[in-house]
Amino acid sequence: MKHAWTSAVLLTTLSQQAHAVQYLNTEQAQKALFPQATGFTEQDWLLTPSQLAAVEQLAGQRPNNPHVRVLKAQQGQAVLGYVVLDSVIGKYDLIDYAVGLNADATVKQIEIMAYRESHGFEIRSPAWRAQFAGKSASHGLRVGDGIANISGATLSCTHVTDGVRRIAAVAQVMLRP
């Protein structure tokens, strides 16, 4: 009896882990977001208390950390944009993603880097991710208002969208005068 119970627990654990997929590492995400970049420079944006409040007002949520790791994409001396790596909780596990931002703080593109949930992996589809292009923190970055939901992936859609909106708000506060 004890052996059957142990086997059932092991099978359940293995089946849950089998859904974890690493799609891109940091370097691959950078190149996917900015294929024409000749280099990436790491930056650390430190948000002041007033900037944190501005982000919260724009995004409807406050960043978890005032330090934001940013990778500036460059082609020679020209700044192409920025890459921000982030994670949000799906239903139970983290979703790692990268946001490519244009120099004007609008979203260029997003990439799903790792997905650990058993359902909702459809958020990685090019059609769903393409909805983010050109959007800003204050325009069209909400599920049901600019971003379509995917049946069976509601929490993943909502949480990634909220995360992208937060990152776009941080970029707007940091990049726009």
Closest among 124, 132, 45 to 82, alpha carbons compared: 45
> How many CB atoms are closer than 10 A to CB 62?
15
Per-residue pLDDT for the chain (177 aa), expressed as one digit of tens each?
544 444 433 344 444 444 689 999 999 999 999 999 999 999 999 999 999 999 999 999 989 899 999 999 999 999 999 999 999 998 889 999 999 999 999 999 999 999 998 888 899 999 999 999 999 998 999 999 999 999 989 999 999 999 999 999 999 999 986
Residue 103 and residue 28 in contact, taking contact as beta carbons nearer than 8 Å: no
What pLDDT is recorded for position 95?
96
Concatenate the DSSP letters of all residues of 84-125 into one string.
EEEEEE-SSSEEEEEEEEETTS-EEEEEEEEE--SS-GGGGS
